[in-house]
Amino acid sequence: MTNQKPALLDRALRLVTPIPVRSFAPPPRQISENLWVIERQLKMPGALIMPTRMTVIRLPSGGLVLLSPIELRSDVAAALRSLGPVEAIVAPNSFHYLFAADYLAAFSGARLFVAPGLPVRVPSLPTAILLTDEPAPLWTDTIDQCVFEATGGISEVMFFVRPDRTLMLTDIAFNLRRIDGLYNRVAWRLMGVPRRFGPSRSARLTLFRDPAVAGPHLKRMLAWDFRRIIVAHGEIIEHDAQAEVRRAFARYLR
């Protein structure tokens, strides 16, 4: 019975099909010499708007790693080709995979890397390489990773880009400090999205359901010397990043 809630929540989330808001399409934003983000919006059930982003990492070889693929349109494809050859598309958790197949079709040399459990949840997923605690050979000199695997088959892979000292999180934590529109603001808060950096209610019910499991993952993450946090949903953290993590996850670090 301990896995019942995550399993039920997982089935409910599988029914949610976000729709890209195509009127919102800013160009890639450069964060550092070899790091960019491309920000988009998704329309969720109930007409709620969720900000999301894809992170683009350029490896020393010049190849690109795309974390959390967004909808692939012509402007996104052109921007990526101007930065380098796409070598890897990464679905870092159990839910950020929807547009991965489009990137494989558009970039012939790319490979798909996915979080543990995702191919079982989504049998239609293209052939993929499972991510583990060991960095993929493609980026072993640049990026560290750690699998955050919880009960109920939900998982997320955390990444640390060493040259930029940047921690990459997907749904482990949100940072939606500012939400446009009263309806969106009230609805997201009622649904458990925190007012500052931290886990949402859905994350607490899945990834953080068992503190004894969550704690060691968080401690390993804190061993990385990061100074910046890029989340998939919300503002990027550029200051006091380690302190923000310790505050947000204090109850699991005891």
* Domains of the chain, start order: 4-248 (3.60.15.10)
Provide DSSP, the chain: -TTHHHHHHHHHHHT---EE-TT--PPPEEEETTEEEEEEEEEEGGGEEEEEEEEEEE-TTS-EEEES-----HHHHHHHHHH--EEEEEE-BSSTTTTHHHHHHH-TT-EEEE-TTHHHH-TTSPS-EEP-SSPPGGGTTTEEEEEEE-GGG-EEEEEEETTTTEEEESSS-BB----SSHHHHHHHHHTT--SSSB--HHHHHTTTS-HHHHHHHHHHHHTS--SEEEESSBPPB-SSHHHHHHHHTHHHH-
Please tell me which residue, 186 or 13, carries the higher pLDDT value. Answer: 186
Asked if 89 contacts 66 with a C-beta cutoff of 8 angstroms, the reply is yes
| Cα 109 → chain centroid | 23
Q: Using CA atoms, how far apart are residues 125 and 127, in angstroms rounded to an integer?
A: 7
Q: Using CA atoms, how far apart are residues 217 and 200, in angstroms rounded to an integer?
A: 17
89 pLDDT more than 90: yes
- What mean pLDDT comes out for the span 23-42? 97
Asked if 109 contacts 84 with a C-beta cutoff of 8 angstroms, the reply is no
pLDDT recorded at residue 4: 41
pLDDT recorded at residue 2: 35
Look up the pTM and report it.
0.91
pLDDT recorded at residue 95: 84
85 pLDDT more than 50: yes
pLDDT tens for residues 143-201? 999 999 866 678 999 999 999 999 999 999 999 999 999 999 999 999 999 999 999 99
pLDDT recorded at residue 1: 33
Give me the torsion for CA of 87, 136, 57, 53, rounded to 10°.
90
Residue 55 banded pLDDT, cuts 50, 70, 90: very high
Q: Single out the residue of 63, 146, 156 nearest to residue 118, CA to CA.
A: 156
pLDDT recorded at residue 150: 67
* CA–CA distances in Å: residue 228 to residues 114, 165, 169, 224: 23, 7, 11, 11
5 pLDDT more than 90: no
Q: Tell me what the pLDDT averaged over the chain comes to.
A: 92
pLDDT recorded at residue 18: 87
| Cα 95 → chain centroid | 9
13 pLDDT more than 80: no
